[in-house]
Amino acid sequence: MSIGHLIVKPATKSQVRQVIIRNAGHWGAKVQMSVDDFVKLSQVFQQGPYASDGKLTIWVLVPEDDPDTIDFYASCQILTRQVLTLRTGQSSPELSFGHAVSSVLVLPEYRGKGYAGRFMSLLHSALAPHRYPNPLKAPVATERASTVSVLYSAVGDYYARCVPSEGETGWTLQKSFVTTWPVSAIQVPAPKGNFPPVEFLSESEVTATLDSDDSNIAGDLIELQKKDPTKIYFAFTTTSSLNAVSATISKLSPGCPSNSSWGAKIPGTSDFMTWAFFRRPGLTLAITRLRASTDSFPVLLDAALRTAQETKSEYIEIWNVPEHLKEMALATGGETIERPDNRSAFKWYGQPSEAKLDNTDVVWALDERYGWC
């Protein structure tokens, strides 16, 4: 099929079922999950808080003369999210919508023929019709136009070449780091100051903690702007529903604990840490969200260490340790490297009234594990 005769569109119910089966054979196999378990996971996902009201949709690349075929050429899922954006010269962020693209899949027999590139290039028009209208090849757009879209690339800078129009870029990589502590080698110093005992958090308590913290994200963006006022900054919210993605994957993944705590907070303060569990291949406690000072970080890290030991986790990891905690992360035995896979990438669209802006003028802030999709 010539790529010139293909369109991108939301999947029908039959196409959604086929996407799930294909994803089970590819993504499920990567984490040693059976097809049946993957199908159950997908059903749970469709019912999660991050998927309600049409926020989670499946898209496919199909022939324009047979748009409902289940023999489509490519697929992905798109998660609609609220996004806070602080532009140059603004004193407070604005709320709009962004999107996360994930589970991009082309079957082996269709690879190397340009289908993936065509699919992702056309997807810009579905996400941001105000910027790249293409009613012939993207006849249906997302319900809410996108200010910015993100993805996590397992194929390097490939998605930067999936451009919406000639002379532009697609999803460009942003440097992103992971810090890993072997549980057997963590050295947590005694905390400075008197802290009350930490409270370990259930899932519902994590939700309440993250909901109360969302009001602090605007201040985080303002602090970043003070350091470099020439950039635009964006961050996703609400974090509780996004964090639920990681928790859901964790609970349903083979060999991961399902009855553990999901975080810790220090009573009387705004400092907390949330986590989930993944296998890579050893069990890892992954910190999904962190708000801590240099004084409170050892207290929260010790809580994570105790949980890791109780669940027989081999490692603790976190993405993009805040600048003020990097030295302490190193001192406690953490090793920080640039992420080798699942690398953060984004495409900035802006609002209809704005001029086009290059991705290099934009910063994805708070790129933590809670943003996983």
What is the mean predicted confidence (pLDDT) over 343-368? Answer: 93
User: DSSP alpha helices (H): ranges in 173-285?
Assistant: 203-213, 217-227, 239-252
Closest CA to 278 of 252, 310, 305, 242: 252
Residue 95 · residue 147 · CB < 8 Å: no
CA distance 115 to 128: 20
**Residues facing residue 14 across a β-bridge:** none
Q: What is the pLDDT of residues 165-174, one digit of tens each?
A: 999 999 999 9
In which element (H, E) is residue 46 found?
Answer: helix 35-46
The reported pLDDT for the residue numbered 71 is 98
Burial of 312 (0-12, 13-18, 19+ CB in 10 A): exposed
Q: How many CB atoms lie within 10 A of CB 175?
A: 10
Q: In the chain, what are the domain boundaries? A: 3-174+341-371, 177-201+261-338
Q: What is the pLDDT of residues 118-143, one digit of tens each?
A: 999 999 999 999 999 999 999 999 99
SS3 assignment, position 57: strand
The CATH code that applies to domain 177-201+261-338 is 3.40.630
Contact residues for 228 (Cβ-Cβ < 8 A; gap 6+)? 363
The CATH architecture of the domain made up of 3-174+341-371 is 3-Layer(aba) Sandwich (3.40)
Structure token digits, residue 53 = 């009201």
Crossing angle of helices 239-252 and 35-46, in 10° steps, is: 160
What is the mean predicted confidence (pLDDT) over 265-274? Answer: 96
* Per-residue CA distances from 55 to 23, 103, 105, 244 (Å): 19, 15, 20, 14
CA distance 53 to 270: 31
**Residues facing residue 226 across a β-bridge:** none
Residue 316 · residue 183 · CB < 8 Å: yes
Residue type, 115: Y
What is the mean predicted confidence (pLDDT) over 93-106? Answer: 97
Closest CA to 288 of 176, 210, 359: 210
Structure token digits, residue 347 = 């495409």
Cis omega (within 30 of 0) on the bond before 281? yes
Closest CA to 82 of 208, 203, 242, 291: 242
SS3 assignment, position 85: strand
C-alpha torsion angle, residues 211, 369, 150, 63 (rounded to 10):
-110
Closest CA to 290 of 315, 307, 258, 265: 265
pLDDT greater than 80 at residue 368: yes
Q: What is the pLDDT of residues 171-224, one digit of tens each?
A: 999 999 999 999 999 999 988 878 899 999 999 999 999 999 999 999 999 999
**Residues facing residue 290 across a β-bridge:** 273
Confidence of residue 6 (pLDDT cuts 50, 70, 90): very high
Decide: pTM greater than 0.85: yes
The reply to whether 3-174+341-371 and 177-201+261-338 are identical in fold is yes
Crossing angle of helices 203-213 and 239-252, in 10° steps, is: 150
